[in-house]
Amino acid sequence: MQQQIPTTLILALALSGCAQKVEAPSFAGANLPPDVAGNTAPSAETAALNASVGETLPLSDPQDFEDAKRGLIASNAELRVTGAKGNTIWDMPSYGFVDGEAPASVNPSLWRQARLNNIHGLFEVTKGVHQLRGYDLANMSLIDGETGWIVVDPLTAEETARAAIAFAREHLGDKPVSAVIFTHSHIDHFGGVLGVLTPEEAEERKVPIIAPESFVDEATSENIVAGVTMSRRALYMFGLRLPRTERGHVGSGLGKGPAQGTFGILQPTEIIRETTTELTIDGVKFVFQNAPGSEAPAELTFYLPDLKAFCGAEVVSHNMHNLYTLRGAKVRDALKWSGYIDEIIALFGEADVYFGSHHWPIWGNERIIAFLEKQRDTYKYINDQTLRLALHGHTPREIAEELELPESLRRSFPNRGYYGTLKHNAKAVYQRYFGWYDGNPANLDPLPPAEAGARYVKLAGGAASLLTSAQAAYDTGDYRWVAEVVNHLVFSDPENQEARALLARAYDQLGYQSESGPWRDVYLTGALELRHGGPEEGIDLASAMDMIKQAPLEPFLDAMAARLNAPKAEGMEMIVNLIFSDLGVSHVLELKNSVLRHYKRDPDPDAHVTLRITRDIYLKMATGKVGIRDTLFTDDLEVEGSRVDLVRFFRLFDKPDGTFNIVVP
């Protein structure tokens, strides 16, 4: 999953040492009253649109429900997991309202997917393979080895992973963990590993930890530098501030949602670099596919030839996935992704059982091949047809509006946009090849939203006139237009409560109509923040200190450079030596042309300031846990040169808290 989540989860990706963990904070506003997700009832237009979904999709087809329930050994109706402080980590009963016929406030196709994702417990996939589903966003799979269980993808959080494996031991016997496989570099597939295997056990018993090539690097690459922004946007994508009601969050399409617990890692001992790599792990034969740059930058799938069982990781799943994730991440390559699925058919096309990192298995070779072919062809169709339309001069917005899957693909539930969508995936393909600019000179240098908003309001004859027209559009169910028009007024005058209320109502209806779980959560969170404001507190990076201590220094120096307030630094030139006394290494920071560069090398003899510091104190300063003034006159650092210059230097850096506005300027 691109994966894909709040900053503390993202920072848990930042690993270079052995086992470390970090506890997630609670989110401001997470326990708002149950009516705030959408104070507006579904309109007649929304109810009619949602009712019509059944005319285009076989919603009554029971096959997925039969598959999702097949092999059930046991289920816990009161599946709640709490943390050491009594905080809620996981709460499946809170989704109990997702049952029966879809209410008018939820797209029936998304409701169907949410019902399927409600089916949870311990399942037998095939002889020697079990899964725990509904304990987290992802699945944990257990493969019987000669001496214990080979654990595949030990969930997001230590607490949920511990609860899941305890449930398995209750019903299958008390087996040890004999190996761990991380299928890819998203945290919902490795963050809970310390709940199934302690570092001491791993070291003492030499437990193999298998991961794809570049697993650790890709887990850290973009998230430290961009994590604060991603975490704020993730509150929208996953609906983390929304109540769980039929007018709020019902699920993420890919699963219910991410667990909010304690996250860790075990350093891989075995790296999969080549496709068709064969390993025998605790007596079980595996054939691996290396699939970098598919759903995750580092990802593998595998085949169990003796069981004729294929694990697709997250390369395939029971929904259209993201080529671009709404929290913000690097665009994925649809053509490469499709090629990997084609390779799977060629390599593992004899499989009789499919299981994955999300959702439920499929049995029967013919059904598996049909599933793989349609997933393969969906990603290639989006790639090829986006390029075709671009060849005719169509812009991203035009392509997203025009593109439609052929009936053979769009009526297949695993290709529906429960998580990714056809519209934003088409824009992702365009972005990958052509970037943000659509070729129209009017869009080359447009006015910023607040300034453009003021002029649109003036053009409309003033705020009252614009609202009158927008209300008329709302009354006819033209909610996309209402959102576009009233958004200009809100950015022109964010204190206009009538405008905020109308925009929130439009977002309610757009959310209710959305087939995609993230789209629903984005719209409804936008409505919530228009009514109640944004979060009061952002992510405290210092809460990840135990985790950060084990990460490489370079990403934090990159993040430091990205926080340089360039206008403040204009005209300044400075060289600062950072000597890490406990590590025996030094980095030279050079400020010039309002750009900060860093080099791992011997100290510069011409530096303005030389700072001798421990890694621990530097990271506390970098995360805002302590200030430079707090440490200047302590024994924790030594300064050679001007302390005034050092203070001036550190004052050049912004300290974002992750609470920036999204739906208002």
Q: Is 267 among the domain residues?
A: yes
pLDDT at 598: 95
- pLDDT range class, residue 14, cuts 50, 70, 90: very low
CATH of the domain at 585: 3.30.1050.10
Q: How many CB atoms lie within 10 A of CB 600?
A: 12
Q: Dihedral sign, CA of 152, 157, 162, 168?
A: negative
Q: Which of 338, 361, 384 is the last residue of a domain?
A: 384
Q: Is the pLDDT of residue 18 over 60?
A: no
- Dist. CA 81–CA 32, nearest whole Å: 20
Higher-pLDDT residue of 459 and 330 is 459
| Structure tokens belonging to residue 340 | 């990997």
CA distance 476 to 470: 10
pLDDT tens digit sequence for 49-103: 999 999 999 999 999 999 999 999 999 999 999 998 899 999 999 999 999 999 9
64 and 116 Cβ atoms separated by less than 8 Å: yes
CATH of residue 453: 1.25.40.880
> pLDDT > 90: what percent of the chain?
78
pLDDT at 98: 98
Residue 464 and residue 358 share a domain: no
Report the distance separating Cα 71 and Cα 89, nearest Å: 27
Are 328 and 227 within one domain?
yes
Same domain, 558 and 509: no
- The reported pLDDT for the residue numbered 16 is 25
Domain termination site, one of 369, 384, 399:
384
Q: Does one domain contain both 279 and 366?
A: yes
Do 96 and 165 lie in one domain? The reply is: yes
pLDDT at 516 over 70: yes
Residue 291: inside a domain: yes
Would residue 1 count as lying in a domain?
A: no
Decide: 10 and 548 in contact? Cβ < 8 Å.
no
CB atoms within 10 A of CB 585: 14
**CA dist., res. 64 & res. 415, Å (int):** 13
Same structural domain for residues 563 and 498? Answer: no
Mean of pLDDT values over 196-219:
93
Dump pLDDT digits (tens) for 302-342: 999 999 999 999 999 999 999 999 998 889 999 999 999 99
Q: What is the pLDDT of residues 527-552, one digit of tens each?
A: 999 999 998 877 655 444 544 565 67
Q: How many domains does the chain have?
A: 3
Is 535 part of a structural domain of the chain? no
Question: Mean pLDDT across the stretch 626-639?
Answer: 76
Residue 637 pLDDT level (bands cut at 50, 70, 90): confident
Q: What is the mean pLDDT of the chain?
A: 90
Confidence at residue 537, expressed as pLDDT on a 0 to 100 scale: 76
Q: What is the pLDDT of residues 221-230, one digit of tens each?
A: 656 677 788 8
Pair of tokens at residue 231: 């975490």
374 and 460, same domain (yes or no): no
For residues 459 and 338, membership in a common domain is answered with: no
Q: 570 with 642, same domain?
A: yes
| Weakest mean pLDDT among 11-15, 204-208, 271-275 | 11-15
Q: What percent of the chain has pLDDT over 70?
A: 91
Distance, CA of 70 to CA of 59 (rounded, Å):
19
Within this chain, do residues 368 and 463 fall inside the same structural domain, yes or no?
no
Q: Is residue 485 part of a domain?
A: yes
Range list of β-strands (E), 558-623 = 574-580, 585-592, 595-600, 609-613
Q: Is the pLDDT of residue 41 over 90?
A: yes
Q: Are residues 609 and 461 in the same domain?
A: no
Domain residue limits at 601? 552-650
Residue 205 lies in a domain: yes
Same domain, 375 and 227: yes
Query: How do residues 166-187 score in pLDDT, each as one tens digit?
Result: 999 999 999 999 999 999 999 8
Question: What's the pLDDT at 25?
Answer: 38
With respect to residue 504, please indicate whether it lies within any of the assigned structural domains. Answer: yes
Provide the pLDDT for residue 549: 61
**Degrees, nearest 5: CA angle 86-88-92:** 140
Task: Give me the CATH number covering residue 339.
Answer: 3.60.15.30
Looking at residue 546, what is its pLDDT? Answer: 47
Given a contact cutoff of 8 angstroms between Cβ atoms, the answer to whether 67 and 360 are in contact is yes
Answer whether residue 8 shows pLDDT above 60: no
> What is the length of the chain?
665
Scanning the structure block, which residue is given the tokens 């989860």? 9
pLDDT at 23: 42
161 in a domain, yes or no?
yes
pLDDT at residue number 224: 65
Domain end: 364, 384, 404, which one? 384
Query: Is pLDDT at 215 greater than 60 in this prediction?
Result: yes
Where is average pLDDT lowest: 305-309, 340-344, 354-358, 612-616?
612-616
